[in-house]
A = this chain, B = another copy of it.
């Protein structure tokens, strides 16, 4: 009573690419957020930095090197940003 399923299920994973401004780069958006957080009553706020996060659905068998290439060449600007990849 088992039915065969014709379509092979492709396994996918979700990865996160975090792109942050390099520590040496001015981050005016982060500085503005820090001021606003202080005004909201969060005492003792230190440095605030704002970056972006890219969530990507990929096939399970995607090469790690391919992901790094995409992060480097497409998702970040290596001159002013660092990226990190989380699976």
Q: Which residues of B contact A58 (CB under 8 A)?
A: 42, 44-46
Interface magnitude class on chain A: 35 or more
Q: Which residues of B contact A53 (CB under 8 A)?
A: 18, 20, 50-53
Instruction: Verify if A59 is at the interface (C-beta below 8 Å from B).
Output: yes
The interface residues of chain A, by DSSP majority, are classed as mixed
Instruction: Verify if A33 is at the interface (C-beta below 8 Å from B).
Output: yes
> A12 with B46: in contact, given A37-B74, A70-B40, A74-B40 (CB under 8 Å)?
yes
The closest CB in chain B to the CB of A66 belongs to B42
Q: Which residues of A contact B (CB under 8 A)?
A: 10, 12, 18, 20, 30, 33-34, 36-37, 40-59, 62, 66-67, 69-70, 73-75
